[in-house]
Amino acid sequence: MSTRLTGLCLKCRGAKLLCGLPRCPFLSIWSKMGEVKPPSSAELQAPSPPSVFVGRVGYPNVRVAPAVVTADGDVSVYDLPERWLSYGVEDVLKFRLSLVLGSLRVDARRPDALGEVALLSSSSRPVDVELRFRKPPRGVQLDPHAPPFGPSGVAEKVRLVDNPSIPRPLERILGGDRVRADEAVWRLYESGIPVSMIQRVFSVGLLGRSAGRRLVPTRWSITAVDDIISKRILEEVKRNPSIDSYLFFQRRYSDNNFVAILAPGAWSFEWIEAWFPHTTWNPGATVEVEGDWEGFKGRSEYATLGGCYYASRLAVAEYLRRLGRQATVLLIREIYEGFFLPIGVWFVRENVRALFASKPERYDDFKDVLARLGSSTRLPLSVWLSKSKILRDFTKQTRLEVGSLGGEV
C-alpha cells in the first residue's frame, strides 16, 4: 500500500486527490506555513497567551523565549492544549505559527534571572508584552515533543505591559519555598490547574525549594509533569479493586486511530505505536511498530518511546481513578499516511483523554476482545499478538485455564 501511495503522490502532486483524502496533507501544511508573516519591525507589543518556551540546546546555558500572538481573536487558546481538539490540526498549526518568540540566554541554574518573564508563565489570562529584537524575527520552529512556534529573534528587551493574573493555588505555591517541586506539581494538579500550565511554571523554575530551583527545557518539563502526576494517581489506583470485565475503547482523529483494551487484573500498562509509511517518524516503505511496557511496580528506566508513553499513561491513570478501579491496560495508536508534522505529545494526551471520555464496549470473553481488536485496526491481529506483551500473557493465561478444565489447548 505504501508503494501505491508513493506512486499516487508522484502522479497527483496535490492536484487530483488520487489518494481519496479530502485534501492533500502535504500541500495543506505548506499552505499554513506560507501564511506565516513575520513582523517587519524589530519592536513589537502584543498579547502573550501566556507562553514561554525553554530550549535544551547548550544546557545549562539555555534559550528562554516568551511568545506573543500577532493574530486577532481569542489568543488564550494559542498555548492551551486542553482546548485544541475542538479545532483541526491545521488550525492548531496556524495558532502556533502565529506565535512570535523573543529569545534570551539564561543560565538554567539561575532561574531568578528571568524576573517578570517567569511570572508571565504563571498567568491564567493573556498578558500584553513589549518586545524589542536585535533584528526582526524570522523562521519557524518544529519540535517532535513540544508544539511548534512561529518566527523568533534575539530579544534585547522584554517588558510586561499588564500584570499577570495568577490563580490562587499557584499564588500560594509561589509564596513559599518549603515544598519540593514534585509535591508542588501534585498540589497544583489537585487544585484544578491545567496540566499545560503546570508544565509551563515547572519549566521556568517557579516550583520547588529556592536553593534547588532550575530552569527545565520545555521538552523535559512536559514529560516530567506527566510522569509525576501519573505516578501519584497510580499510587491510589493500585489500591483499588480490579475491573470485572473487559473494556474496549476506540477513537479516530486526524489520520490517527487510538484503541484501548482494559482487562481484569492488577495494574500494568503497555503503549504501542504503529507508524505507517510516509509519516513523521517513518519515511520508509513499511509499517514500523514499537512499544513500551511496565508492570505493577512501574518502570526503572525512561521509556524508549519518550513523552507519548507518559502522556498516555497520565490519561489512563485519570480514567481509572474516576472509575475507582485498577486494570491491565493496552493502548494502541496507528498513525496513517498524511500525518507527518511533529506537533507535540499533547496530541496523545488529549486524544487519549477524549478516548476515555467515550462509552466503552464491555466483553466477558477474551476471544471476543481479540476479534474486536482485529476488526478495529488496519494492521492484522497477528501483529498485535506478536508485539504486545500484555496480549501474549493473556493468551497464555486463557490457554492454561482451558487446559486445566480438560479442554483443547
Render pLDDT for 176-188 as a digit per residue (tens, 0 to 9): 778 899 999 999 9
Q: Do 279 and 355 belong together in one domain? A: yes
- Residue 18 maps to a domain: no
Q: How confident is the model at residue 211 (pLDDT cuts 50, 70, 90)?
A: confident
Q: Do 332 and 222 belong together in one domain? A: no
- Residue 3 maps to a domain: no
State the average pLDDT over residues 127-137: 93
Cα distance between residue 290 and residue 333, in whole Å: 10
Mean pLDDT for all residues in the chain: 88
The confidence score (pLDDT) of residue 29 equals: 58
The confidence score (pLDDT) of residue 210 equals: 85
Q: Do 228 and 263 belong together in one domain? A: no
Cα distance between residue 146 and residue 219, in whole Å: 6
- Residue 22 maps to a domain: no
Q: How many Cβ atoms are within 10 Å of 80's Cβ, its own excluded? A: 18
Cα distance between residue 153 and residue 138, in whole Å: 7
Q: Do 211 and 288 belong together in one domain? A: no
Cα distance between residue 122 and residue 164, in whole Å: 7
Cα distance between residue 116 and residue 376, in whole Å: 50
Q: Do 339 and 381 belong together in one domain? A: yes
- Residue 1 maps to a domain: no
Cα distance between residue 145 and residue 21, in whole Å: 26
Q: Do 215 and 128 belong together in one domain? A: yes
Q: What percentage of the chain's residues is helix, strand, coil (to nearest 5)?
A: 40, 25, 40
Query: In this predicted model, what pLDDT tens digit does every residue of 212-231 receive, in sequence order?
Result: 899 999 999 999 999 999 99
Largest CA distance in the chain: 81
Q: Does the pLDDT at position 30 exceed 70?
A: no
Query: Of the given ranges (21-35, 176-190, 198-212), which has the lowest mean pLDDT?
Result: 21-35
| Helix or strand (DSSP H, E) at 47 | strand 43-48
Degrees to nearest 5, angle at CA 251 with 250 and 252: 130
Which structural domain, as residue segments, surrounds residue 71?
37-236
Q: Do 151 and 217 belong together in one domain? A: yes
Helix (H, G, I), strand (E, B) or coil at 218: helix
Cα distance between residue 349 and residue 369, in whole Å: 24
Q: Which of 182, 101, 185, 215 is nearest to 147 (CA)?
A: 101
Q: Do 226 and 268 belong together in one domain? A: no
Q: Does the pLDDT at position 309 exceed 80?
A: yes
Number of domains in the chain: 2
Query: In this predicted model, what pLDDT tens digit does every residue of 58-116 receive, in sequence order?
Result: 999 999 999 999 888 889 999 999 999 999 888 888 888 889 999 999 999 999 899 89
Q: Does the pLDDT at position 17 exceed 70?
A: no
Cα distance between residue 271 and residue 291, in whole Å: 5
